[in-house]
Amino acid sequence: PTKSPTTPATLAPTKSPTTPATLAPTKSPATPATLAPTKSPTTSVTVAPTKLPTTPVATPTNSPTTGAPTISQVAEGPCCNVTGSALVADDNNIRIAVNEYLNDASSAMATYGPINCWDTSRVTNMSDLFFDSLLFNDPLGCWNTSSVTTFRKMFYGDSSRTRYNQDISSWDTSSAIDMSFMFFKSWFNQNIQSWDVSSVKDMSNMFANTPLFNHNISSWQVSSVVTMEKTFYNSKKFNNDLSQWDVSNVENMDRVFSESEFNHPSIKNWNVTSATTMIAMFSGASSFNQDLTSWSSSIVSLVDGRQMFYGAESFNTDLCAWGDTLENTGVNLNNMFLDTACPFKDRPNFNSAPPGPFCFQCD
């Protein structure tokens, strides 16, 4: 507007059905209104965003010279039911913001907005984000995790068990490669069956030491997974159907169900063609007693199966069919049936004909 010596300039926004509302400065008898005020210790600009049902109005408030994290305008919507400002997170500033939030949630919220409303679409690494955060249990269901490649140790309990147990079923995990230790030693027990884990390669210790988790994850596409070491180690509740899991590319199955209560027949038809190591796979799994005879056709790559059923006190299944497959392979089967319910607990002898015993004397 052109300044007049006698009339203060006013800002008259043009109404448009497609143009967001503009700033309407308060008229002052002495001070002309300006559209882009400079920083002043006594003057502030009030932003009145238009409420949108689903689309945030992006109006960054930070200065490019301050180095502060970017703040975006969020609108009231179906997920984040607030109107205000929220952090636009990246791999660096999200860790700063989370640490501040864990130390003083109220202060961090005033700076970054509600944690559930942060824009995390640019974040690729969420490893260790809430590592050993024993008391944290705030909703994060609105986070956009579509770019995240690693969730390693995200809710890991170290000194004690972490309490995180919120609904994160809507997370987009399609880019995830590493989910190792994600819920290790936590109280997590939510339905995450809808997760896309088709790109995940490492699931080691993912649910290890979880005393509550027992949700159905039968539909997970795990064909890219290479290691499942201790995936359900000491998981005291999990006992669900895994028959649809394609584990044909898994090389490491060490202690997958060790010390757990797993005893589901669904794994009897697993294709374990790539598995080279099954050390203590069911050791200490006191309830396990399933027929794994059919593995004889695919257990061709096994190099180390020592202590596979060691301490699985209920196990009492004839595995003589494995003998011909494992003969002349040099596989290590030391203490394979020790402390089980097998009538013959000795190490299988491949110099006998047929090889055995395999829990039972082989004829």
Instruction: Count Cβ atoms within 10 A of the Cβ of residue 362 and give its class: 0-12 exposed, 13-18 middle, 19 or more buried.
Output: buried
pLDDT values of the chain reduced to their tens digit, one per residue, 363 residues: 334 444 444 333 444 444 443 333 444 444 444 444 444 444 333 333 434 334 333 333 333 333 445 666 554 455 776 667 899 999 999 999 999 999 999 999 999 999 999 999 999 999 999 999 999 999 999 999 999 999 999 999 998 999 999 999 999 999 999 999 999 999 999 999 999 999 999 999 999 999 999 999 999 999 999 999 999 999 999 999 999 999 999 999 999 999 999 999 999 999 999 999 999 999 999 999 999 999 999 999 999 999 999 999 999 999 999 999 999 999 999 999 999 999 999 999 999 999 999 999 999
User: What is residue 316's predicted lDDT score, i.e. its pLDDT?
Assistant: 98
User: What is residue 149's predicted lDDT score, i.e. its pLDDT?
Assistant: 99
Instruction: Identify whether the C-beta of residue 259 lies closer than 8 Å to the C-beta of residue 232.
Output: no
Distance CA 74, CA 112 (A): 12
Residue with tokens 């090889």: 355
Which residues touch 90 (CB under 8 Å, ≥6 apart)?
Answer: 122, 123
| Strand ranges in the chain using DSSP code E only, listed in sequence order | 71-74, 84-87
pLDDT digits (tens, 9 = 90+) for 149-205: 999 999 999 989 999 999 999 999 999 999 999 999 999 999 999 999 999 999 999
> Which has the closest alpha carbon to 261: 284, 242, 278, 236?
236
Strand, coil or helix: 88:
strand
User: What is residue 68's predicted lDDT score, i.e. its pLDDT?
Assistant: 44
Distance CA 76, CA 117 (A): 10
Instruction: Identify whether the C-beta of residue 257 lies closer than 8 Å to the C-beta of residue 236.
Output: no
93-103 helix and 105-112 helix, angle to the nearest 10 degrees: 140
Give the rounded distance of the alpha carbon of 352 from its chain centre: 48
User: What is residue 34's predicted lDDT score, i.e. its pLDDT?
Assistant: 40
User: What is residue 72's predicted lDDT score, i.e. its pLDDT?
Assistant: 64
First to last CA, the chain: 100
User: What is residue 81's predicted lDDT score, i.e. its pLDDT?
Assistant: 65
Write down the pTM of the prediction. Answer: 0.79
Identity at 145, one-letter amino acid code: T
Distance CA 209, CA 230 (A): 9
Tokens matching residue 142: 């609105």
Residue with tokens 């949700």: 215
Residue 295, number of CB atoms within 10 A of its CB: 23
User: What is residue 74's predicted lDDT score, i.e. its pLDDT?
Assistant: 56
User: What is residue 85's predicted lDDT score, i.e. its pLDDT?
Assistant: 82
Residue 53, number of CB atoms within 10 A of its CB: 8
- Residue 353 is given by DSSP the state S
Instruction: Identify whether the C-beta of residue 253 lies closer than 8 Å to the C-beta of residue 275.
Output: yes
